[in-house]
Chains A and B, each alone.
Chain A
Amino acid sequence: MSDQIKITIDGESIEVPKGTTILQAARMIGKNYPPAMCYYTPLKNTGGKCRVCLVKVAQASEANPRPMPKLVASCLTQAEHGMVVENESSPEVLEARNGVVEFLLINHPLDCPVCDQAGECDLQNLSFEHGRSETRYEEGRREFDKIDIGPFIQLHMTRCILCYRCVYLADQLTEKRVHGVINRGDVSEISTYIQNAIENDFSGNIIDVCPVGALTDKTYRFKQRVWFSKPFDAHRDCPKCTGKSVLWMKGQDIIRITSRKDKFGEVIDFICNECRFDHKEPHHWVIEGPRDMGEESVISANKYELPVVSPAVNVDAKFVSE
């Protein structure tokens, strides 16, 4: 049997290598792929938990043309030859996804106006697409105290959706994991249990992999709404990491440094804490140019002024850019 298999998602077919998951195949097709709040390609063992990527398998494979009895997590389910998948074309999938988004939001504080993640928050995007205009949840919401875990990172557990990405990251990228998930059920929390700082060369990456505003950069706290800052690709020679970063600028000031993410929001190269926190002077960096955030990102709006040919004839364009 060939190593390439054919899978059809929402009517579009693609050939993918054996072992590819439905989600990855959908990403290869490139449009209307399922969202993912916990799965994260660069981190092993992630996925399966948030359930927003559930899809319907209408035909399991060419050899077994029966549908799968339940919706499946597309991030973990491998494509089979002849598999037919329904994602956005299935009302059942959309209803389930809306349901999961509602579950993720019932205990979320909805404090986007004061959350540093706003504008680059996967949950915000998801609720925009799949959320209700008003909540059906009338009960008390879960709350936790904010905790400083070391000098650079703040844990705002109330916003957490328990994707476990930061835990896997600490396991896979750093020497000794000091934080994890404690307690269980809906009082589970990301915690160090005892007063403890997450301090190691790569700990700052937990901020980048967090899909919501639960782990934020304390050095950037309340400095700027992200869409008012300008991202630039930049690099520096770093003995610890590739040094390939994104500088978030306000005027001539670097207000934040992050790793670079691909169009699926996944980190391309994890960067070290020295690059992230200790080099906030532009002359430390070789600036490559503006970072393309993709058309859909709110960060792309109101960002780089259009080339002004002549103010007189380009009034409309200037309006658009403001």
Chain B
Amino acid sequence: MGRKILLEHIDVPGIQTLDVYRKMGGYNAVTKAIKNMSADEIVEEVKKSGLRGRGGAGFPTGMKWSFLDKKSDKPRYLVCNADESEPGTFKDRYLMEKLPHILIEGMICSSYALGANTSYIYVRGEMMYVIKILEKAIQEAYQAGFLGKNILGSDYSLDLYVQPGGGAYICGEETALLESLEGKRGNPRNKPPFPALWGLYGCPTVVNNVETIADVPWIINNGGEAYAGIGIGKSTGTKLISACGNINKPGVYEIELGISVEEFLNSDEYCGGIANGRKLKAVVAGGSSVPILPADLILTTANGEKRLMTYESLGDGGFVSGTMLGSGGFIVYDDQQCIVRNLWNFTRFYHHESCGQCSPCREGTGWMEKVLHRIENGHGKLSDIDLLVDVAKKIEGKTICPLGEAAAWPVASAIRHFRADFEEHVRNPDSCVKKHLHREMAHAH
């Protein structure tokens, strides 16, 4: 059994309540932080831990924290990104639903470390029931004196609020999230300036993912070095992986970074192997935005090394033969799944979720979707395949925010690794088109 930092007490009855959570050692980190540690000491421990942003980008958290403009006389804010919407990812919802207090404890410790006196948890609006769970937990924390004025008799005060989104994947991008929190359309901002200097209401702000913040109490309790002792190299600690698709045991798993992809996929502790005795065709290892890899390349790198569940090993080979750990959304495809149809589905997603602010993404995502829709429906041409690669290339790196890359990478990688499937769709549409679906799923909204 791997070490559990976040999910150790997940099965304890009543762990959603503050009382039970405290009995399991909950909120000890708040006491330790506020009574025994300075803000800078906490930042130092987080730096030592090697913790990296768990939302997808994997940026070192301690470094992000140290960029926060502390010279400014404006208030500082910590905003938790709970807008989990990356297809294939459902770990944050699970964590907030089952263990709301671990996030709140993390928010208090992190806010204290950053000198924030007001903090927000931005939860995607669709998770209205999770918002209610969090609000109840926050109320308990106020009553217990962990939130509000003069926490635990110190001179540190913190107010914590939950903010609902309204249905927009783009608000998972940190500056779009801040715009949305300001009551605006979720249009990402041009950067620089980064939120550390110009964030919420133009004030210095840190935006961190749910899982990232939930890791902080353990780091405070056990020290950054202990955290760094788990994992391999620059992939320290544990990571929640959301596993879905054609596997025997879909679900959220906490893994020690560094176990092999093969173990994760086949061991009964995790995915439990491919469902229905079928064969593995491909894996999208870090949420829909990261490059898809065929079975051989997900299990071993191009150099023949065992692929590990780490930022570095999954990235090995770059975009030619590698992928990314991303958000840890692990989507498994068996040999009955159609790569073309799946790609069309993903491009429809990005087309639907583009904010429309900058031209390459606004126009390019729709273009890719329409071409793929044609191919998937038996009206493609061979030249369409190279057209898609070119359109993807003209979006990538040209947009205001990373949605451009998120839309382009799946297209580029699917064609790179499964070109024959696309050609087959063009040459023999009758054998490929999903015939039993007599109607297309209409566009939402």
Contact, chains A and B (beta carbon distance below 8 A): yes
Q: Which residues of chain A have a CB within 8 Å of any CB of chain B?
A: 47-52, 54, 70-71, 73, 76, 95-96, 99-100, 102-104, 106-107, 136-137, 139-140, 161-162, 181, 183-188
- State which of B195-203, B208-216, B269-277, B365-373 sits at the interface with chain A: B365-373
Instruction: Give the CA-CA distance A162 to B362 in the complex, in Å.
Output: 10
Instruction: Give the CA-CA distance A144 to B355 in the complex, in Å.
Output: 19
Instruction: Give the CA-CA distance A67 to B322 in the complex, in Å.
Output: 25
Q: List, in ascending order, chain A residues with CB within 8 A of B357's CB.
A: 49, 162
Contact A103 B352 (CB under 8 A): no
Q: List, in ascending order, chain A residues with CB within 8 A of B351's CB.
A: 185-186
CB proximity to A under 8 Å, residues B315-359 = 351-359
Contact B397 A70 (CB under 8 A): yes
- Kindly supply a per-residue 1/0 record for chain B positions 349-391, scoring 1 wherever the CB is within 8 Å of any chain A CB and 0 otherwise: 0011111111110111111001100100000000000010000
Instruction: Give the CA-CA distance A103 to B394 in the complex, in Å.
Output: 9
- Kindly supply a per-residue 1/0 record for chain B positions 158-172, scoring 1 wherever the CB is within 8 Å of any chain A CB and 0 otherwise: 000000000010000
Q: List, in ascending order, chain B residues with CB within 8 A of A96's CB.
A: 394, 397-398
CB distance from B356 to the nearest CB of A (A): 4
Q: List, in ascending order, chain B residues with CB within 8 A of A73's CB.
A: 190
Contact A103 B355 (CB under 8 A): no
CB distance from A116 to the nearest CB of B (A): 23
Q: List, in ascending order, chain A residues with CB within 8 A of B366's CB.
A: 185-186
Contact A181 B185 (CB under 8 A): yes
Q: List, in ascending order, chain A residues with CB within 8 A of B362's CB.
A: 103, 162, 185-186, 188
Contact B360 A184 (CB under 8 A): no
Q: List, in ascending order, chain A residues with CB within 8 A of B394's CB.
A: 95-96, 99-100, 102-103
Known: A96-B394, A99-B394, A181-B185. A136 touches B387 (CB 8 A): yes
Instruction: Give the CA-CA distance A136 to B383 in the complex, in Å.
Output: 10
Q: List, in ascending order, chain B residues with CB within 8 A of A136's CB.
A: 387
The answer to whether the Cβ of B39 comes within 8 Å of any Cβ in the partner chain is no
Instruction: Give the CA-CA distance A174 to B352 in the complex, in Å.
Output: 33
CB distance from B430 to the nearest CB of A (A): 22
Contact B185 A161 (CB under 8 A): no
Contact A100 B360 (CB under 8 A): yes
Q: Provide a sorted-by-A list of 17 A–B residue pairs whose CB atoms are within 8 angstroms.
A: A50-B359, A70-B397, A96-B394, A96-B397, A99-B393, A100-B360, A103-B359, A103-B363, A104-B363, A139-B371, A140-B370, A183-B356, A184-B355, A185-B351, A185-B353, A185-B354, A188-B362
Q: List, in ascending order, chain B residues with CB within 8 A of A102's CB.
A: 394
Contact A54 B354 (CB under 8 A): no
Contact B355 A48 (CB under 8 A): no
Most buried by A among B190, B363, B367: B363
Q: List, in ascending order, chain A residues with CB within 8 A of B433's CB.
A: none
The answer to whether the Cβ of B63 comes within 8 Å of any Cβ in the partner chain is no
CB distance from B369 to the nearest CB of A (A): 9
Instruction: Give the CA-CA distance A215 to B397 in the complex, in Å.
Output: 31
Instruction: Give the CA-CA distance A99 to B389 in the complex, in Å.
Output: 13
Instruction: Give the CA-CA distance A268 to B154 in the complex, in Å.
Output: 58
Known: A136-B387, A186-B354. A100 touches B367 (CB 8 A): no
Q: List, in ascending order, chain B residues with CB within 8 A of A186's CB.
A: 351, 354, 356, 362-363, 365-366
Q: List, in ascending order, chain B residues with CB within 8 A of A188's CB.
A: 356, 362
The answer to whether the Cβ of B66 comes within 8 Å of any Cβ in the partner chain is no
Contact B398 A107 (CB under 8 A): no
